[in-house]
Amino acid sequence: MKKILVSFVLFFTISISAQNQTYYRLIEYAKKAPESETKDIEDLSKYLARGAKTKKELVQLIYYWICLNIDYDIESYANNTIDDVSAETTFSDRKSVCAGYSNLFQEICLNLKIKCEVITGYGKGYNYNGEYLKETNHAWNAVKMYDKWEFIDVTWGAGGAFENEDGKLFFEKQLSVRYLLDNPEDFILEHLPEKPEWQLLENPISKDVFFSTEMENKRLERIKL
């Protein structure tokens, strides 16, 4: 029994170590993308493809590059002056809101023959205080990985909105892998797509359930983790 336990611990340790090495290798590759390889979306797509050994690594690289290089346009968000959220403008300006992040992620995926959808719906993000939202307010992605759809929220993965001492909003980069290939059971705590089929749940929930006290308590518990 001891021998089996020791073998399991050793395997687990090696597995975690390998994951960490892959993470840092991909992060460094994304960080070191030369200017000559990032003049347009097509060149960037080719550069990212050269750094990936698997389809999963390629999706991770797309996520990391966008998180590290695209800022959230907090001024446009605060003043409700959001205009062009196309992938091209997001890429050239190096800033946008959630729709721009999602459109850019999708565009790079399509360049690399990866199936990807932009999903719109309700997000319990910055400053959410438990209210029942009447209108959709967020966009994210679903990407097909080995015949299985998984979720990406590159906007929330890039950082967050905060208030300074004067109450003015600012964006702070804080790379997070929490929204990288997230599973439907956790993702639904903060994201409700307009189309129920994009919940990717065996038993989709209603809007009323999404905004219920029970779901809010579950969301708050997850945030603590």
| pLDDT tens digits along 183-209 | 999 999 999 999 999 999 999 999 999
Among 54-68, 131-145, 154-168, the range scoring the smallest mean pLDDT is 154-168
Is the model's pLDDT at 62 over the cut of 80?
A: yes
Query: Residue 46: CA atoms inside 13 Å, Cβ hemisphere, count?
Result: 8
Q: What is the pLDDT of residue 15?
A: 44
If we measure between CA atoms, which residue out of 193, 201, 190, 199 comes closest to residue 223?
Answer: 190
Average pLDDT over residues 98-105: 98
Measure the CA–CA gap between 116 and 14, rounded to whole angstroms: 32
Read off φ and ψ for residue 27, nearest 5 degrees: -60, -45
Q: What is the pLDDT of residue 127?
A: 80
Return the pLDDT at 137. 95
55-79 mean pLDDT: 95
pLDDT tier for residue 5 given thresholds of 50, 70 and 90: low
The per-residue pLDDT for 164 is 87
- What is the CATH code for 25-224? 3.10.620
Q: 169 Cβ partners below 8 Å, 6+ apart? A: 74, 77, 78, 161, 162, 163
Indicate the pTM of the whole model.
Answer: 0.90
